[in-house]
Amino acid sequence: MTEQHAHQFERGTDGPKVIVVGVDGSDSSLRAAAYAGGLARRQHALLAVVYVQPVIASGAALGAPVAETTDEIAEDLVAQIRHATEQNKGIFDVRWEFHTFRGDPYSGLTKAADELKADAVVVGASEQAGHRIVGSVAVRLVKAGRWPVTVVP
């Protein structure tokens, strides 16, 4: 093995070709989507917008139709993205896809990044105070060390 082939971390392209951004409707995730959209446009990359639908134990739902609610959130996110895309057509063209995964945010984003062969992952900073103690999704993604991760405040 030569010195040149010892470090293989690129997929053979200049810049990322697939950028995964996690969205959940929060302000920070929408800022992350806007940032990732700009990055995807400049890099001529595919923007993969990912919403992770939480899986809640049946007893915890207290009879609330959780699956329907998370489906509504996903539909609303797609509508917001389509609206923003239409508003900026011709000015801000970017190829994008919307994906939903089920599970906790970290596992869902990890699965999405793996399946979509992400070159980079973008997430919003956590807005939950408890994450300072337990660790946010962003910190866990960085610690996984499998993709460059950008955290948008």
**pLDDT tens digits for range 41-80:** 889 999 999 988 877 655 454 555 555 566 777 677 777 7
| Tally of helices (H runs) and strands (E runs) in the chain | 5, 5
Confidence band, pLDDT 50/70/90 cuts, at residue 2: very low
- Mean pLDDT of the region 18-47: 90
State mean pLDDT over 25-49.
89
pLDDT value of residue 13: 55
Domains and CATH numbers, the chain: 16-24+32-149 (3.40.50.620)
Contact 29, 37 (CB under 8 A): no
Q: Over the stretch 96-135, which tens digit does the pLDDT of each residue have?
A: 888 888 888 899 999 999 999 999 999 998 776 544 544 5
Alpha-carbon gap, residue 55 to 125, rounded angstroms: 22
Backbone angles phi, psi at 19, to 5 degrees: -115, 120
Q: What is the pTM assigned to this prediction?
A: 0.72
In order, the DSSP letters of 30-94 are: HHHHHHHHHHHHHHT-EEEEEEEE----TTTTTT--HHHHHHHHHHHHHHHHHHHHHHTTTTS--
pLDDT at position 31 over 80: yes
**Can you tell me which residue has the tokens 């919307």?**
98
Predicted confidence at residue 137, as pLDDT, reads: 87
